[in-house]
């Protein structure tokens, strides 16, 4: 489970780059019950924070990178962004945004793993990350869709010290690799790796990618809100034994995310 005890190697933040900030704010407000707090709009900057029940859960900004698709970026806590950058490069990854300070709030960097999946890190300063997790309307899991789980395990194990365990997918669909941060018990599993064929990664023309899983009280109701507000559904809703009821969705700008009502028990 993801918690707000933001230990090294655990998810601590996520933000969305959207071509239309106001439209994205309205969409996620309708689907996840988020309130958008603008940090100001100017010619050079437009964005703000999403809150749920008064607690900050994610960020939103204008998509400015030429040729980039709208997507969620997941950040992981580190104690030293510069040392992590060196570890990424040693393991064959690429630095997309070199470590930089965001005033007194913290230090961030963004990378691509050797297969091209993008992720980011956050070295806390005044701000540690999100204030709500594993509750309806907040992040509950992260997932990498990749063409090579063995290579992904080697890379992320070297960078973050993650431990991995395997579970069989229902219906003989193969194995799913579960992620646990270093030095934490398996109850703190925070995500998974799923191997797919390159032709199945249609959103990115075959490039692996991370996406977030948001907890919701009612998966079907959330999916109805997705479609009512201009989004679409890639898969589901469907029940997954031992996991819950989930659906893979796209927002109106084709940023992908999952909504999950966790199984009880």
User: Measured between alpha carbons, how far is 88 from 86 in angstroms, rounded to an integer?
Assistant: 5
Q: Which tops the pLDDT comparison, 239 or 39?
A: 239
Closest Cα to residue 259, out of 210, 207, 224, 208? 224
pLDDT band at 158 (very low <50, low <70, confident <90, very high): very high
Question: Within a 10 A sphere around the Cβ of 178, how many other Cβ atoms?
Answer: 17
Task: Please give the residue that has the higher pLDDT: either 36 or 68.
Answer: 36
Q: pLDDT digit string (tens) for 125-155?
A: 999 999 999 999 999 999 999 999 999 999 9
pLDDT over 70 at 175, yes or no = yes
pLDDT at 190 over 60: yes
Residue 184 has pLDDT above 90, yes or no: no
> Residue 229 above 60 pLDDT?
yes
The answer for residues whose C-beta is within 8 angstroms of residue 103's C-beta and 6 or more apart is none
Helix, coil or strand: residue 62: strand
According to the model, what pLDDT value does residue 227 have?
98
At the fourth CATH level, which superfamily is domain 139-262? 2,3-Dihydroxybiphenyl 1,2-Dioxygenase, domain 1 (3.10.180.10)
Q: Report the pLDDT value the prediction gives residue 45, as an integer from 0 to 100.
A: 57
pLDDT band of residue 256 (cuts 50, 70, 90) is: very high
The pLDDT-based confidence of 264 (bands split at 50, 70, 90) is confident
From 54-58, 171-175, 238-242, 246-250, the region with the lowest mean pLDDT: 171-175
Residue 66 is predicted with a pLDDT of 81
Please give the share of the chain, as a percent, with pLDDT higher than 70: 96
Taking the C-alpha atoms of residue 29 and residue 23, their distance in angstroms, rounded to an integer, is 10
Least confident of 14-18, 63-67, 206-210, 216-220: 63-67
Nearest partner of 192 among 42, 55, 1, 61, judged by Cα: 1
What per-residue confidence (pLDDT) applies to 171?
65
13-61 residue pLDDT tens: 999 999 999 999 999 999 999 999 998 665 455 889 999 999 999 999 9
Mean predicted lDDT score pLDDT of the chain: 93
* Domain ranges, ordered by start, for the chain: 11-124, 139-262
Residue 118 forms beta bridges with which residues? 112
Model confidence at 172, pLDDT cuts 50, 70, 90, reads: low
What pTM, to 2 d.p., does this model score?
0.94
Percent of the chain with pLDDT over 90: 80
Looking at residues 171-200, what average pLDDT do you find?
88
Would 11-124 and 139-262 be classified into the same CATH topology? yes
Q: For domain 11-124, give the fold.
A: 2,3-Dihydroxybiphenyl 1,2-Dioxygenase; domain 1 (3.10.180)
In this predicted structure, what is the pLDDT of residue 169?
75
């Amino acid at each position: 489970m993801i918690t707000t005890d933001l230990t090294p190697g655990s998810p601590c933040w996520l933000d969305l780059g959207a071509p239309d900030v106001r439209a994205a704010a309205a969409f996620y407000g309708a689907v996840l019950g988020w309130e958008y707090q603008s940090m100001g709009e100017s010619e050079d900057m437009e964005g703000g924070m999403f809150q749920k029940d008064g607690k900050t859960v994610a960020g939103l900004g204008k998509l400015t990178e030429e040729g980039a698709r709208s997507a969620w970026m997941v950040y992981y806590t580190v104690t030293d962004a510069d040392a992590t950058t060196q570890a990424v490069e040693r393991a064959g990854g690429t630095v997309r945004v070199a470590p930089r300070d965001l005033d007194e709030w913290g230090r961030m960097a963004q990378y691509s793993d050797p297969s091209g999946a993008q992720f980011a890190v956050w070295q806390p300063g005044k701000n540690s990350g999100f204030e709500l997790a594993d509750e309806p309307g907040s992040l509950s899991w992260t997932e990498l869709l990749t063409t090579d789980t063995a290579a992904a395990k080697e890379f992320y194990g070297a960078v973050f010290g993650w431990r991995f365990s395997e579970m069989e997918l229902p219906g003989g669909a193969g194995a799913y690799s579960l992620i646990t941060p270093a030095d934490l018990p398996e109850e703190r599993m925070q995500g998974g790796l799923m191997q797919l064929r390159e032709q199945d990664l249609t959103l990115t023309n075959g490039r692996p990618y991370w996406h977030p899983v948001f907890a919701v009280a009612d998966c079907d109701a959330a999916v109805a809100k997705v479609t009512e507000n201009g989004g679409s559904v890639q898969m589901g809703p469907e029940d997954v034994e031992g996991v819950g009821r989930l659906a893979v969705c796209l927002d109106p700008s084709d940023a992908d995310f999952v909504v999950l009502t966790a199984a009880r028990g």
